[in-house]
Amino acid sequence: MDEIDRAILRELQTDGRIPYAELGPKVGLSPSAARQRLQRLIDAKVVQVVGVTDPVAMGGQAMALLGIRVDGDPRAVADALSRHDEVVYAVLTSGAFDLFTEVVCHSPASLLDFINDVVRPVEGVTAVDNFPYFGIHTHRFLWDVG
């Protein structure tokens, strides 16, 4: 990844829908060269261009962070849970929890079902702490790309 790639990523963080006709000149490329560069970054899985929603604001959904303690390899538990559509984010951690997963369910009842029927039975899971969201206060996708 070079400075032009980083410039493309910075522009996309500001406006993921920027037209190539604007993106190219902003990063010192023609529009077609900018499109090719971005496609290369997408193919390399460095970046995804997606529409981000706020499930809580959409209503009728339950969102929570699950702190999970694991006996054994937390990567195996993360792999098992990540196969479920409800899991939108999984990170390996250290400290009181081995793994955090962010989940979105259709309702508080389906969140309870997901925890009890899906998460707890996974081999290696010893404890699950549920932190339900009442609202998303800050949701940023602006990371320093160098």
Give pLDDT tens digits for 74-120: 999 999 999 999 999 999 999 999 999 999 999 999 999 999 999 99
Top-level class of domain 55-132? alpha beta
Q: Please report, for the chain, the start and end positions of each structural domain, with discontinuous segments joined by +.
A: 3-43, 55-132
Q: State which CATH number among 3.30.70.920, 3.40.50.2300, 1.10.10.10, 2.40.110.10 fits the domain covering 3-43.
A: 1.10.10.10
Can you read off the two tokens belonging to residue 52?
């981000």
Fold match flag (3-43 vs 55-132): no
Question: Global pTM?
Answer: 0.69
Q: By C-alpha distance, which of 55, 42, 47, 124 is closest to 88?
A: 55
